Structure 1
Amino acid sequence: MAKSSSDAEFLAQLRSQRGGQRADTGPGMILHTPPAKSSKSLDDIIASEGEAAQTPIPAASGSSAAPNAIDHSTAADGSLGRIVSIDLLDPHPWNARVHRSAERVREIASQIAATRQNHPILVTRNPDHPGRYYVVDGETRFRGLKLLNRREAWILEADVDPADPLAFYTASFKQTDATEAISSIDKGIKWATLIEEKHATATSIAEALELAQSTVSRMIAYRKFPPAVLDFMHSNAEKFPYSVAAVLAQLVDQGWSEDALLTKCQEVVDSQYSRRAIESLVKGAKTDSEKKPRKSAVVAIPIKAGATQVGSFRTYESGALEFKLSTAAALSPENYKALSDVFEVVSGLITEGHEQLIDELSSRLAKLRNDG
């Protein structure tokens, strides 16, 4: 990402972009940091160059301007984008990113609050609702602005057809991935969905994104996993590249339950398996699955330390209860000992066969607290 050393250079870089088109590189938008040591807003920078335009935002051809459009533009020709009401922007279902953490949105919101919106949100017009726009790239910025209750957003238009899923996804992918790499999981999910809904083929996706078709074919394996498993994989993304996902997808084909898949994924994380080791693990699992009926959890609650799953609590139709914590790293030494003491008390009560379990547990926990 290039840095601008002056207001003039910053403006020159922005002027080189025309609705997401660059004459030297073809379609695409290069994002730039704001001018070094500049505290001016975008409008102030432009005004200082004598280029501020106080004309209304032009409406789409054949339509009237939206009633809540902001009555100013950052440049008469729109080359620098424009400032519009944030209420005019809408997410699009074929945005390339699937997983967008709340932490990341808060991080971007903090950056905007500390300085300003340093990069425009790339948009395209919504043909069904004149005056409104779909977000092509910059949905995290869009959410960050909404989190800050900002009324306006800096946008830059691109010529993207929102009614063409593959075309929109491709534009969103190329811009979004260049800003912050899209995870393999998000890629696989979207590619598989495009194929399932007959908007594309593996071949057309590979051609549009300039990838090998074999890569596309292997990555769509992520689509086979249920949402809870995908969330776990995303939290431990470095352990589940598409080569590993393609191997584990064989377990889905065998009919493994969500709970069994989560257990196997946790095993992959805990044991630091290589891809070849996972292949052997899956082959061995085939035999095991034939011998033992798979359990189905009635309740499955993940235990997380930040964004990473470190354990789970599950109940089963058989009446079994299971609490599993894979690492003590999520607990302080004091809390680790306290939790161990609690489970020791519970184990004793079950062994003794108390019918009033809650009352007796409360009494013993109070004693444990006093003795501690």
Structure 2
Amino acid sequence: MTERKNERRGLGRGLSALMAEVGADIGFAGGGSEPAAPVERQGIQSVPIEALRPNPDQPRRHFDASRLSELEESIREKGIIQPLIVRPDPDGPGKFEIVAGERRWRAAQNARLHEVPVIVKNFSDSEVLEIAIVENIQRAELSPIEEAFGYKQLMERFGHTQEKIAEALGKSRSYIANLLRLLNLPDEVRAMLESGDLSVGHARALITAPDPVALARKVIEGGLTVRQAESLARKIHEPRKPQSTAAPREKDADTKVLEDDLSANLGMSVVIDHRAGGEGQVIIRYKTLDQLDQLCQLLSQVR
């Protein structure tokens, strides 16, 4: 119960502080898999490879076989230069859970190493997940769906908001929001995205489509660009307008001025339909999901 309460308090020591602590130990800079040369560091110990187990909340679900093979060859040649970060495994004495470095652990097994260098840290569940997500994101090895799932875990399990995650990771809130929307896609479309048949831009255009799977197939079969996919999705949404024989009502000057002011301030097309009796409607047209996200932020600030 205490651990769960602590998880809900926020980012704890702060994500930047956590990564600085890890970086000081392993030379982490978000770049390649191994630093250029070994560095003498204190606190490193060797443990049997079978004493380690992967983090069950690791956001990455797929490991590229060719990259893993390259890392295996590097380990055969030079050994493991960059130690793994682990924490004590509560399920067994002398056992450890991997916080950062699961690829190195897998490659070391393939290279038939008996022991690996580690640094032991006492991280909480929240800190372990945060480090795993950031390590993978900075190494550009997560798929968009895996990255989105990692953000979802941070929100649902640890109570972080999109704003807090964006601030901690140096991302925009719209970037986080747009990735999370990908999780609303059907499994078949997610698979197309993970395989590279669809780009993130394509997938975002399909999110609100009535039949994303059918539209995704059309996009792939036709080799459509993102703009073409967005246009196709809009056509599906736009109902056919009935032919009207009535002459359009003339708007008064004040309404036109108000439309122009709102359009200029929002950067989007605004139409005001003011009717007799004081009722009416305001229509705001957006062209991209980024504009919609911007509009949602503006509306959420209105009290």
User: Please, what TM-score do these two structures have when normalized by structure 2?
Assistant: 0.60
CA contact (8 A) 2:133 2:150 kept: no
Which residue of structure 2 aligns with residue 201 of structure 1? 161
Q: Which moved more, 1:109-118 or 1:208-217?
A: 109-118
**1:268: which partner in 2?**
219
Distance 1:18 1:219 in 2: 26
Q: How far apart, CA to CA, are the structure 1 residues paired with 2:111 and 2:188? A: 30
Aligned mate of 2:176, from 210, 213, 216: 216
Secondary structure of the equivalent of 1:218?
helix
Q: How does 1:133-282 map to 2 (within 5 A)?
A: 133-161=96-124, 163-164=125-126, 167-197=127-157, 199-236=159-196, 239-241=198-200, 243-251=201-209, 254=210, 256=211, 261=213, 264-282=215-233
Match in the other structure for 1:34: 37
Of structures 1 and 2, the larger Rg is shown by: 1
1:219 Cα deviation after fit = 0.6
Larger RCO, structure (CA 8 Å, separation 6 or more): 2
Letter in 1 for 2:163: T
Flag structure 1 segments of 5+ consecutive residues without an equivalent: 1-16, 36-41, 47-74, 289-372
- Structure 1 position 283, deviation (Å): 2.6
- How many residues align structurally? 217
Aligned CA distance change for structure 1 residues 144 and 21 (closer, same or farther; 3 Å): closer
- Distance change (3 Å), C-alpha of 1:223 and 1:188: same
For 2:46, what is the secondary structure of its paired residue?
strand
Q: CA deviation at 1:287?
A: 7.7
Identity of aligned residues (%): 22
**Distance between the aligned counterparts of 2:80 and 2:27, measured in 1?**
20
> CA 1:29 to 1:236, structure 2 compared with 1: closer, same or farther past 3 Å?
same
* CA displacement at 1:86 relative to structure 2: 1.0
Deviations 1:32-88 (A, max 9, x none): 1236xxxxxx9xxx7xxxxxxxxxxxxxxxxxxxxxxxxxxxx7x41xx22111112
User: CA contact under 8 A between 2:51 and 2:94: conserved in structure 1?
Assistant: yes
CA displacement at 1:95 relative to structure 2: 2.2
Which amino acid counterpart does residue 233 of structure 1 have in structure 2? L
SS in 2 for 1:170: helix
SS in 1 for 2:191: helix
Q: Deviations over 1:174-228 (max 9, x none)?
A: 3333344433332112212443456433233223323222211111022123444
* Equivalent pair of 1:202/1:216 in contact (CA under 8 Å): yes
DSSP 3-state at the match of 1:250 = coil
Aligned to 1:343: none
Tell me how large the CA RMSD over aligned residues is: 3.4
| Cα gap change, 1:222 to 1:104, in 2 (>3 Å) | farther
User: Within 2, Cα distance between the matches of 1:225 and 1:146?
Assistant: 36
Q: CA contact under 8 A between 2:59 and 2:149: conserved in structure 1?
A: no
CA contact (8 A) 1:185 1:230 kept: yes
Alignment of 1:21-100 (within 5 A): 22=24, 29-30=28-29, 31-34=34-37, 77-78=42-43, 81-100=44-63
Q: In the TM superposition, what is the alpha-carbon distance from 1:281 to its structure 2 partner?
A: 1.6
1:19–1:157 CA distance, 2 compared to 1 (3 A)? farther
Corresponding residue for 1:123?
Answer: 86
Per-residue CA deviation, residues 231-267 of structure 1 (Å, 9 max, x unaligned), is 3212217x412x432221213xx3x3xxx61x54344
More helix by share: 2
Distance change in 2, residues 1:153/1:217 (3 Å): same
Say whether residues 1:20 and 2:22 are aligned partners. Answer: yes
**Contact 1:170–1:209 (CA<8 Å) still a contact in 2?**
no
Shift in alpha-carbon separation, 1:148–1:231, aligned structure 2, 3 A: farther
Unaligned runs of 5+ in 2: 1-18, 240-303
Q: 1:126 to 1:184 in 2, by over 3 A?
A: same
Question: Deviation per CA, 1:254-298, whole angstroms, max 9, x where unpaired?
Answer: 3x3xxx61x54344345443332211122334589xxxxxxxxxx
Amino acid corresponding to residue 194 of structure 2 in structure 1 = H
